[in-house]
Structure 1
Amino acid sequence: MSEAGALSFRWGIPKEPVSLDPDMRSFLAEHVGSATPWPAESPAGWVLAAPRLSDDDLATLRTIVGDEHVRIDREARLAHLGGASFSDYARRRVGDVADAPDAVVAPETHDEVEGILRACAERSVAVVPLGGGTSVVGGLRLDRPHIALSLRRMNALVDLDSTSAIVTVGPGITGPRLEALLAPRGFTLGHLPQSWQRATIGGYVATRSAGQASTGYGRSDDMVESLVVATPRGTLELGRGPSSAAGPDLRGLFVGSEGAFGVITRVALRVRRLPTERIYEGVLFPDFAAGREAFREAAQSRTTADVMRLSDGDETRTTLLMSAPGGVAGAALDRYLRLRGVEASRSSLAIIGWEGVDRDAVRARRSATWRVLKRHGAVSLGRRAGESWRRHRFEGPFLRDALLDAGYLVETVESATSWTQLPALHDAVHAALAHSLGPRPGPYVMSHISHVYETGASLYTTVIAVADRADPVGQWSRAKRAVTDAISDQGATITHHHAVGRDHAPWLIQEIGPLGVEVLESVKSGIDPGNVMNPGALLPD
């Protein structure tokens, strides 16, 4: 099997094999149900339809970028199947590749991108911009004739203004590559989403992503200083200075626009000094409510850490199952916790992390945070637990691959709301998923808070169920509708950082109202009158 084929139905190929140990299999059988292995069909047997673009279409594109950068061969088209959701992987496990692009076009310059968009608009050929292909909300899924606009060649670090702490890059540069280029110069972007190993900077900005340290470093939209955007109607250069009162900020139309309005071809981002001091700790609270109140107080007293992640009881249980010591060591831990008023079976695990360039300042921040945490019954598990999380934090998608292979549906849902509404949102999400993916014993639903604000927080939920092999996509679609209805009914946002894509687009009208949708449709028709830019993403067709 080629790597391109393998990556079509799984996150990736880990450095070390990932498997489910006996304890995890027993836990799944008890709490979710028994599943049978789910082998994927070999990509060699997938039926890929012939490209639907005309010879004239292809010739025009080749004139713009060169023959070698317009590919219609099987390997290239399968390698550019975008999307990393359960539904995306489930389709490909049975050989459904109807959403494969008809051609892959890889420009190198802004002018080439602009030329491609003009040509595609004239010929009514849809364009799906593609970076790391990590959308989990159907942001890249399109059945009509289209090209994948691969941004991999636009991956340069264009400029680093070390005085102003601003880096300018092409949209195709990945997080790891950017960090590797910044570190020797003493800087970091500090944006580390779960998709960090594959996602691109252009993707960060186009989806308004949030990273694991966003509480301290800010979300991607907080980092954007300026943008250059190519559209079918021409070029926009947006952003002057750190702040402006020159009317509405048009950067906001393209940050989070998911390629539906244009293609970001250059972006300038705020960077920070590379931390020389890091402290990461594991913490246990008596329960999720106590931890939630501690996080709220820390946010509202401005004593937050850079990383603040709080698991509910169900997520804590699975984390401890996979990492807690057993035998004598485990008994000693239980005694240690009980002496401090925490029952492991009811506890809520938190990961707290502080970073900076000044050791004394980092330690002072830690002390201020801990004064708040202690008021809510927090017990330290020490730095070893925190460092273990930091080292292994990008391994979750590989575990999902192992669960899919074992026959389980694994998917995530995220939202955000006020502190007042957060408990009700948590209960509503869990109830909707439990009802729509029953019967018992499954599914297993678990959540965590990972981004905190003075007024509220995000809620990130993972669900595991036995996959319905007869119709896995329909199984998740029904659950997705139920849980998104529940989120919307609670007055919470339909997405905190996964973006709208095609999966959330039907609920956008409930989020921003009919007039809000009309405003966005007016923008779309003004700069993309032929509706060739990622049609169906953000705004329903």
Structure 2
Amino acid sequence: MTESDLAVVQLTPGRWGDPTHRAEVPPAALAALQQLGVHRPPPSAEPVDRPGPTEAQLAFLTAVVGVEHVATDLAARWAHTRGYSTPDLLRHRSGDTTGMPDAVVFPGSHDEILQLLAGCAERDLAVVPYSGGTSVVGGLAASRRFVTVVDLRRLDQLVELDEISRTATLQAGVRGPAAEALLAARGYTLGHFPQSYEGASIGGYAAARSSGQASAGYGRFDQMVVGLTLATPRGTVQLGRAPMSAAGPDLRQLVLGSEGAFGVITSVVVRVRPRPTERHFEGWRFESFDAALTAVRRLAQDGPLPTVLRLSDEAETAVNHPAYAGSALVIIGFDGPYQPGTAAVLTEAGGQSLGAEVGDAWRTGRYQAPYLRDPLLDEGALVETLETATFWSRIPALKAEVTEALVKSLSDQGTPPLVMCHVSHVYETGASLYFTVVCAQHDRPVEQWQTAKQQASQAIAAAGGTISHHHGVGADHRAAYAAEIGPLGVAALQAVKDVLDPDGILNPGILI
């Protein structure tokens, strides 16, 4: 299944993706889980409703957006509770309503959002901006009572396509597949394909500094943004008069990655490119992760750089491509003509071409992987991911130390894990590392993972990595982020929040 085959999915509480699509754990994987000591957990519990907004609060919300665009029923509020990290899903399964909003509103314009934010500030109502809802770092769990979720799904238009400048103005509620369809109708592509593509949105991409699988060719989403509009309780911030400017610090970069703490991004102006007429994918086998890493670095630094460049370590290769167990697998992809110079670099570095079949299999299957997490959780496995980035010279040590921290922490808890790792985003000076962890759940799986995550985060910091490459900060990484930027950096961000959101209603507890 490829990007053009996917439609927008309205995610369901506690399970990923299209509710009509259910994945099954392969028999070989079930046998492997038994070796990890996995046993089935108790059945999921239903949430118990609690009081919603007061009559006065409800009257205000309906006056702004209309009664038909305000939801206070349990189903709607539960569907907007938390995101899609494994702890979020486990809390859903336990019926934990902590953080459930009091109301969900669906504004239809930038001006309605301005009115909502100003009125919520007057009434001390916390606001959680919500579009795709795919956060995996606790980015949708405001730490205050009386919470209103502002769902941007009605802001779903391609406002303008400037074919001379090759820019598109998209409203923040446009989902990934819808954005591609709107642009494809005019012959263009955004080229942004994160694994959350089915459910994530333009606004979420911007707010979390998203990075898609084709980042080697198209860049991260924050590199695509040339302008944006931000609604705050104090008014509108409009940014981006030109592609680049020397008129002071680039405030676009201050808003990108702000995760709703400074305002609600209502639209963005993004760079677009002509839709490719051909695509080529290919798999390459290397004797070791280190050998493959050298090859990938050469491509990132000296070229020719493919559109997609991904390296799986031996553990991940053995699970996803058992025919090549004991090897490290590199996937390359081109939007446009095949570049034989890339193959020459990989061959010189010791790589063996596996042809298009392996590359195409990866491409068509990559959006199915998140669907496996739910049945694995059903069986009693704990499955979660974390990611980081650093400079090339630090990658081997960072990978080793994070892996060791995860193995030790979870083994000490009686649940030895399988830890897999891949590189999926590369730069001239460094790359990302993305870890996937599988082990048995113990009786308190949320605390089990929090303990392991804390140890891994400390290892990331000690090895010189960043706490997040593309998942963002949310609540889960807030303390580590504060340590990374230091007290003065935190104070600077707080000063910005004090100006734009003096009452502190926007996503409280998130980012800072």
Global fold match (TM > 0.5): yes
> Which letter does structure 2 place at the counterpart of 1:425?
L
Pick aligned residue for 2:37 from 28, 34, 37: 34
**Shift of residue 509 of structure 1?**
2.1
Relative distance call for 1:98 and 1:78 in structure 2 (3 A) is same
CA distance in 2, matches of 1:441, 1:313: 21
CA distance in 1, matches of 2:482, 2:472: 15
Conserved? CA contact 2:10–2:199, under 8 Å? no
Aligned to 2:5: none
CA distance in 2, matches of 1:349, 1:465: 23
CA distance in 1, matches of 2:436, 2:180: 28
TM-score by length of structure 1 reads 0.90
Which deviations, in whole Å up to 9, do the C-alpha atoms of 1:306-347 show, x marking residues without a partner?
1011001110110123xx4xxxxxxxxxxxxxxxxxxx4431
CA distance in 1, matches of 2:143, 2:238: 32
User: Where do residues 272-283 of structure 1 align in structure 2 (5 Å cutoff)?
Assistant: 272-283=273-284
Aligned to 2:426: 452
TM-score by length of structure 2 reads 0.95
What is the SS of the residue equivalent to 1:95? coil
Which deviations, in whole Å up to 9, do the C-alpha atoms of 1:142-169 show, x marking residues without a partner?
3522011000111111111112111111
User: Where do residues 363-442 of structure 1 align in structure 2 (5 Å cutoff)?
Assistant: 363=338, 366-439=339-412, 442=416
Which deviations, in whole Å up to 9, do the C-alpha atoms of 1:328-383 show, x marking residues without a partner?
xxxxxxxxxxxxxxxx4431011110112xxxxx23xx211111111111111110
Aligned to 2:79: 79
Aligned-residue identity in percent: 49
CA distance in 2, matches of 1:171, 1:148: 15
1:515 matched to 2:488 = yes
* Structure 2 unaligned blocks of 5 or more: 1-8
Relative distance call for 1:119 and 1:493 in structure 2 (3 A) is same
Conserved? CA contact 1:98–1:143, under 8 Å? no
CA distance in 1, matches of 2:492, 2:188: 39
Q: In angstroms, what is the RMSD of aligned CA positions?
A: 1.5
1:121 matched to 2:87 = no
CA distance in 1, matches of 2:19, 2:312: 25
**Shift of residue 442 of structure 1?**
2.3
Conserved? CA contact 1:39–1:405, under 8 Å? no
1:9 matched to 2:14 = yes
* Structure 1 unaligned blocks of 5 or more: 325-343, 357-361
CA distance in 1, matches of 2:22, 2:134: 21
CA distance in 1, matches of 2:236, 2:103: 24
**Shift of residue 81 of structure 1?**
1.8
Aligned residues: 502
Conserved? CA contact 2:90–2:446, under 8 Å? yes
Which deviations, in whole Å up to 9, do the C-alpha atoms of 1:271-325 show, x marking residues without a partner?
111011111001111110010000111111031111011001110110123xx4x
User: Where do residues 3-402 of structure 1 align in structure 2 (5 Å cutoff)?
Assistant: 7-13=12-18, 16-30=21-35, 33-38=36-41, 40-41=43-44, 43=46, 46-51=47-52, 53-144=53-144, 145-321=146-322, 324=323, 344-356=324-336, 362-363=337-338, 366-402=339-375
> Which letter does structure 1 place at the counterpart of 2:38?
A
Conserved? CA contact 2:143–2:509, under 8 Å? no
Which deviations, in whole Å up to 9, do the C-alpha atoms of 1:96-153 show, x marking residues without a partner?
1221110001101111000000001111110000011110000001352201100011
Which deviations, in whole Å up to 9, do the C-alpha atoms of 1:252-285 show, x marking residues without a partner?
1110000000001111110111011111001111
Relative distance call for 1:527 and 1:17 in structure 2 (3 A) is closer
Q: Which stretches of structure 1, 4 residues or more, deviate above 4 A after TM superposition?
A: none
1:531 matched to 2:487 = no
**Shift of residue 12 of structure 1?**
2.8
What is the SS of the residue equivalent to 1:497? coil
CA distance in 2, matches of 1:109, 1:12: 27
CA distance in 1, matches of 2:219, 2:140: 26
Relative distance call for 1:40 and 1:9 in structure 2 (3 A) is farther
What is the SS of the residue equivalent to 2:310? strand
CA distance in 2, matches of 1:317, 1:14: 29
> Which letter does structure 2 place at the counterpart of 1:106?
F
Which segment is superposed worse, 188-197 or 298-307?
298-307
CA distance in 2, matches of 1:475, 1:37: 16
What is the SS of the residue equivalent to 1:461? strand
User: Where do residues 483-494 of structure 1 align in structure 2 (5 Å cutoff)?
Assistant: 483-494=456-467
Conserved? CA contact 1:451–1:458, under 8 Å? yes
CA distance in 2, matches of 1:149, 1:509: 27
CA distance in 1, matches of 2:42, 2:363: 32
Conserved? CA contact 2:403–2:419, under 8 Å? yes
> Which letter does structure 1 place at the counterpart of 2:397?
A
> Which letter does structure 2 place at the counterpart of 1:216?
G
CA distance in 2, matches of 1:441, 1:131: 36
Relative distance call for 1:233 and 1:452 in structure 2 (3 A) is same
